[in-house]
Structure 1
């Protein structure tokens, strides 16, 4: 009995020592140099009291835990989907009738924490069949509308009147929060398709629509009788339960009656004026391979307050944009027509590797960049964060039309990395030679070409040609 007890104690001691060794080994493996340095600095702050040093160490540990959770979350996101590209399944239907529908893109921050900087913006598409009426609605958000396809009338109900304007392909317009707005699809055989960027004022990342013919019945009937000075029978006759829905067909005569409008004007002279046709302006860049149209913060000036500009790219079939990046803005882009591809270079979803050598010799950590590629087709959305290099190309069959809302646009610049006036050629000769370890002339030969921004695409691209 005594011998068994001794053996048990020895075995228990061995197991304890083994577990302790494994634990120490795991701690060594998982040790973060950044955490070690942070805690070391806390302990060597002469002006800190003992409690100050303990509080400092706890802050280091909290930061390390948050960093670990963020890395785990981003790693999981990257395994499942491209964080910058959104397809049909990423939209949810907010409203649908037999004559049209409204779809809302899921919150950007729901896809990735990297997009939390645009988490307050909501992208919405509306599609209405021919000769339809979208009944008056106001929103708790500012909205910027862009006509992707079709011809329509927009009605804005002001305090003392209603202003109507014609809309056509390429028109953009701001609708201020709280403004009753309705649409009429003037075409009988073509759908009206609108892109809408909402900037919520109440709930970040969510907007609400208010339809008077629907929400008024939510008030108690006795209060409505008193407010409207009308018996409830007459009230029920106006707000009946068999409403057509907020998007519904109307007769040709009704379309014609609603199509009597005053023309839009430019430049704007009052807030929430008429539409501004982006495609009617002089192209910002234009050649045989594509055209880029871009608004500015002062044309139309209504976008200045929103710190927002819009751009429209028409990339000729088989062509592509230069690799480029924007300095401050984040681009929220929707494909209006055609097929193509996008490539975005991302520094976030990467691992670290070790390399040795270089001019200085030695070994150091080198952050890798990851190329995130996707095919594009009509209705898809992609986001390009500030500073991220990217390029977009059209397939060989059709031109590619892309509309981009560029948020945080004040002071933004676009820097091309190839072609005429590219930023690499602008680098001074000495720095260029030190960076690439080649004569500056040879470097310029690689980056320079006569075209600006739009180029012929690759001759053979099996991944995108089908």
Structure 2
């Protein structure tokens, strides 16, 4: 008997040591990523390392970098883009895939699909995928509203220079176009245009990657271009080239005077051929419609009915079966709204790591380590970004003062199928039996009474949430009575007559 007891103690010690070593190694990695944090900080799973990627008068982009070491099945960085009314995020391509979500405003995205330019208009709630290496631009089309975008960025695709790397196709002095780095003789040969003209094109833009469309000579060219229909773009670009030749910069006057009329005609002809080669199919309606059909469509999160809804909140999820482009990136999307004081029941994601952004309200989130100890128990508010590693149990609770709304990404495009640990359709309810009772060291009757006490699923009431829901129900009943009574009175009057 003593030997068995000793063996049991040794096994417990080994298990505890294994969990401790695993957590210790991860904590060491977290410490290396976040040296300014205490390793057991109550903010351990909040993403707080913010980096400005772009910042101009017309807008900005900042990114929260992911971390977590080997405990993470996959890391995602979370980006926030803000653009002023009538502004442009200039043409570029990236070394990372973006999944964008329009939090507020409307936008137009132009991108190259199978060597054709396709433009799509996006509205609030739209989800859209921009693949790594795809040339694109973004425009805030509103005259009086900022554009707010939340995006996921896959750092595993990045070449490692930064959280991601932009290669700007358009640009000038700031930012520099990737084309401006080529030797003069190479770029002149490639464009078949004089060096004087190329110098004008590659030095005018100096406002940064996000520019106002109605603010300067350089961006007025983009303004004209973006306002045109596809059929007019070719003619407009031709006109831009001719006007540019007719209005040379003072520094280039001497060079331009050396060009004779014949060279000018050859240059214009070359531009025309170049532009027609890019937009030669714009006048073909059937081909243009085919391009739009084959291009990636957007999916609006706000237009979907909730996957789950009760008196205490609702939740919606998008996966690869709902929006096929998500399959290519292996990303899922979710949106949750908890009424005041309501709680997302303790659950675990067996398939994916979850990244969440608080859109409105405030509340609390608690995440649990594998050994049953608390990993993080902290207050969250609007703008906070949290992540929950795969397999880690957690729950969110809305403050009693107002609802808690959060949106986020998961690292799997398959249906997530979270395992709810408590509730009417929980793991505990499914496993109910003598084995579960024995695991807790109580009788089966006691265990059954405990497990069956909760009648709600997924989103549960707390005492203050129940009070809020009851008050809302009473108010609704009162409103119905106030509406119904006058009708009864009118009916009685009619019958009396």
1:83 aligns with 2:44: yes
Match of 2:450 among 442, 446, 453: 446
Q: Is the 8 A contact 2:97 2:131 kept in 1?
A: yes
State the 1:68 CA deviation.
10
- State the partner residue of 2:308: 285
Matches within 5 A, 1:152-301: 152-199=107-154, 200-203=156-159, 206-213=163-170, 214-251=177-214, 254=223, 258=227, 272-301=295-324
State the 1:216 CA deviation.
1.5
Q: Is the 8 A contact 1:186 1:259 kept in 2?
A: no
- State the partner residue of 1:137: 92
Q: Is the 8 A contact 2:333 2:409 kept in 1?
A: yes
Q: Is the 8 A contact 1:171 1:276 kept in 2?
A: yes
Give per-residue Cα distances to partners, 1:310-347, cap 9 Å, x unaligned: 11112223322111111121101112222222111123
Q: Is the 8 A contact 1:297 1:304 kept in 2?
A: yes
- Name the Cα RMSD after superposition: 3.3
Q: Is the 8 A contact 1:153 1:258 kept in 2?
A: no
d(CA) in 2 for partners of 1:313, 1:459? 19
1:118 aligns with 2:74: yes
Q: Is the 8 A contact 2:362 2:380 kept in 1?
A: yes
Matches within 5 A, 1:333-372: 333-347=356-370, 367-372=371-376
Query: What TM-score, normalized to structure 1?
Result: 0.71
Matches within 5 A, 1:392-431: 392-410=396-414, 412-431=416-435
d(CA) in 1 for partners of 2:113, 2:378? 44
Q: Which runs of 5+ in 1 are unaligned?
A: 1-32, 38-62, 263-267, 348-366, 461-466
Higher helix share: 2
d(CA) in 1 for partners of 2:344, 2:24? 37
Q: Is the 8 A contact 1:135 1:246 kept in 2?
A: yes
Q: Is the 8 A contact 2:366 2:374 kept in 1?
A: no
d(CA) in 2 for partners of 1:69, 1:392? 26
d(CA) in 1 for partners of 2:24, 2:381? 34
State the 1:75 CA deviation.
9.0
Match of 2:333 among 310, 313, 318: 310
CA distance 1:69–1:459, change in 2 (3 Å): closer
- How many residues align? The count is 370
- State the partner residue of 1:100: 59
Match of 1:324 among 341, 347, 359: 347
d(CA) in 1 for partners of 2:153, 2:318? 18
Give per-residue Cα distances to partners, 1:132-168, cap 9 Å, x unaligned: 2211121112221112222222222234332222222
Partner SS state of residue 280, structure 1: coil
d(CA) in 2 for partners of 1:234, 1:255? 20
d(CA) in 1 for partners of 2:44, 2:100? 25
d(CA) in 2 for partners of 1:428, 1:193? 47
CA distance 1:451–1:256, change in 2 (3 Å): farther
d(CA) in 1 for partners of 2:421, 2:22? 33
- State the partner residue of 1:353: none
CA distance 1:272–1:344, change in 2 (3 Å): farther
Query: What TM-score, normalized to structure 2?
Result: 0.67
1:390 aligns with 2:347: no
d(CA) in 1 for partners of 2:225, 2:446? 65
Partner SS state of residue 425, structure 1: helix
d(CA) in 2 for partners of 1:382, 1:131? 32
d(CA) in 1 for partners of 2:143, 2:328? 37
Q: Is the 8 A contact 1:184 1:255 kept in 2?
A: no
Partner SS state of residue 459, structure 1: helix
Q: Is the 8 A contact 2:42 2:378 kept in 1?
A: no
State the 1:230 CA deviation.
0.6
Q: Is the 8 A contact 1:330 1:386 kept in 2?
A: yes
State the 1:451 CA deviation.
2.4
CA distance 1:157–1:398, change in 2 (3 Å): farther
CA distance 1:79–1:391, change in 2 (3 Å): closer
- State the partner residue of 1:51: none
Q: Which runs of 5+ in 2 are unaligned?
A: 1-9, 32-37, 171-176, 231-284, 286-290, 466-497
d(CA) in 1 for partners of 2:114, 2:328? 22
State the 1:99 CA deviation.
1.8
d(CA) in 2 for partners of 1:188, 1:158? 28
State the 1:202 CA deviation.
4.5
Partner SS state of residue 159, structure 2: coil
